[in-house]
Amino acid sequence: MDLSYGEDHTLLSESIARFIQNDYDFETRSRIAASDLGFDPTVWQQFADLGWLAIPFSEDEGGLGADPVSVMILMEQFGRGLVLEPYVPSILLGGRLIASMGGAEQRSRYLGDLIEGKIQLAFGHGEPGGRYALAHVATRAEGGAGGFTLSGHKAVVHNAEAADFIIVSARGSGEVRAQDGISLFVVPRETPGLTVRPYRTVDGFRAAELVLKGAQVGEDALLGEEGGAYPAIEAVTDRAVAAVCSEAVGVMDLLRETTLEYLKTRQQFGRPLGAFQVLQHRAVDMLIACEEARSLALMATLSLDKSAPERRRAVSAAKAHMGNSGRKVGQEAVQLHGGMGVTDELKVGHYFKRLTMIDTFFGDAAHHLDRFAGDA
């Protein structure tokens, strides 16, 4: 067992940190958030050129080794920079679904372009009323001559508007919450019968509601076996959940550091806030929350290639803890900044909002606590 970074990981981490520092400061981020697209295609191309888009893929898939620790490192730095570019929906969800479910022809059709930065993907899965139940798919897929007809409503699909292709889950058979019967389809965004209603999210990202009304896709749109997508969906979303736990660690760290700096500099009653014991202890509680969240994000990352029950348990432990520790650190960062903490001007509030929305990503603390306990 070795839980400290090797030299290679340290180099990777420093490299990404340097990019954030030099090319992605908070002003840049704010400008990108206000743009029409909501992310910067030039930055995305830079990610591609630097090989970052290739990190989660194996060499066979045209990638760089699919090392979960490297993804963890990348996401942690993205968290520190509050990076808006759609790495999670496009690469970790869309890309990984095609890589793990698609046939050779599908993989070569999409993955090369994805890794080169030429196309964007999204994953349309969650539905209104489904809450966080991963098998809740009411969207229907009717097989017919030469393809499938899709009908349903997909909720809060990140990166849907920018995506060239959206991976959509739909059911050919079974009850709404049954694991069997779910299939995945690669749906071009311009497909007739697919309506995309885009919006901004509270944390500055872009998402959309998808309405499918008799949207037609060809047979070659089906990923993997018909009706058998659930295990892959669960495995891919678990990897993505572990990754956003690492993103959350970066967000939390930055909030904690910023708050600590404020405690040392802000003077009230003739001394720095940090001289007050009640605030010192709260700063220590924040540190403990960050350290524990980091420990569990690491445990989850290193458990991704274990058996499915071990993987589920580890990922849900990390996500459940992250939901609670993230809320605590986010709220404390705002509180300890006083009135400034609730302003749009200060970056603290933006980090707090990201942290808060990460809790809703594929299951909040309550959902994952339940799943950890063995019942979800």
Partner 1 sequence: MYRTRGEFAADGIGPGNRYGMTASGCGVATLLVRPDCIYISGAVRPDSGAACEGRVVMNIELTSADRAFRDEVRAFLATSLPPDIKRRVENGLELGREDYASWHRILYEKGWVAPGWPVDHGGTGWTHMQRYLYDEESAAASAPRIMPFGVNMVGPVIFTFGNSAQKARYLPRILSGEDWWCQGYSEPGAGSDLANLRTRAERDGDVYVVNGQKTWTTSAHWADHIFCLVRTDPDAAKPQQGISFLLIDMRSSGIEVKPIITIDGGHEVNDVFFEDVRVPVENLVGEENRGWTYAKFLLSFERAGIADVGRSKKQLAGLKRIAAAELSNGRPLSEDDRFREKIASLEIDLLALEYTELRALSRQTSGEEPGTEANILKIRGTEVQQRITELALEAVGTYANPYVPEALKDGWNEEPIGPEYAASVAPRYFNWRKASIYGGSNEIQKGIVAKLVLEL
* Contacts to partner 1 by CB under 8 A: 1-9, 11-12, 15, 18-19, 22, 46, 48-52, 54-55, 59, 62-67, 69-71, 260, 263-264, 274-275, 277, 280-281, 283-285, 287-288, 291-296, 298-299, 302-303, 317, 320-321, 369-370, 372-373, 375
- Asked if 348 contacts 259 with a C-beta cutoff of 8 angstroms, the reply is yes
CB of 259 to partner 1, least distance (A): 10
What b/e sequence results for 325-354 when a residue is b if at least 16 CB atoms lie within 10 Å of its CB, and e otherwise? bbbbbbebbbebbeeebeeeebbbbbbbbb
- Asked if 122 contacts 142 with a C-beta cutoff of 8 angstroms, the reply is no
Closer residue to partner 1 (CB): 18 or 118: 18
Burial class (CB in 10 A: 0-12, 13-18, 19+), 290: buried
CB of 161 to partner 1, least distance (A): 28
Closer residue to partner 1 (CB): 153 or 313: 313
CA distance 198 to 31: 19
CB of 96 to partner 1, least distance (A): 14
CA distance 72 to 242: 8
CB of 36 to partner 1, least distance (A): 27
- Asked if 140 contacts 151 with a C-beta cutoff of 8 angstroms, the reply is yes
- First CA to last CA distance, the chain: 30
Closer residue to partner 1 (CB): 99 or 217: 99
Question: Would the CA dihedral through 237, 241, 247, 248 be positive or negative?
Answer: positive
CB of 317 to partner 1, least distance (A): 5
Closer residue to partner 1 (CB): 66 or 355: 66
CB of 103 to partner 1, least distance (A): 22
For residue 273, the SS3 value is helix
CB of 14 to partner 1, least distance (A): 9
CA distance 186 to 166: 6
Closer residue to partner 1 (CB): 255 or 263: 263
Closer residue to partner 1 (CB): 25 or 219: 25
Listed in sequence order, the residues at least 6 apart from 261 whose beta carbon sits closer than 8 Å to its beta carbon are none
CB of 111 to partner 1, least distance (A): 12
Closer residue to partner 1 (CB): 3 or 202: 3
Closer residue to partner 1 (CB): 39 or 57: 57
For residue 166, the SS3 value is strand
CA distance 43 to 170: 33
Closer residue to partner 1 (CB): 167 or 273: 273
CB of 238 to partner 1, least distance (A): 16
CA distance 43 to 100: 27
- Phi (first) and psi of residue 80, to 5 degrees: -60, -35
CA distance 272 to 270: 7
Can you read off the two tokens belonging to residue 355?
């942290």
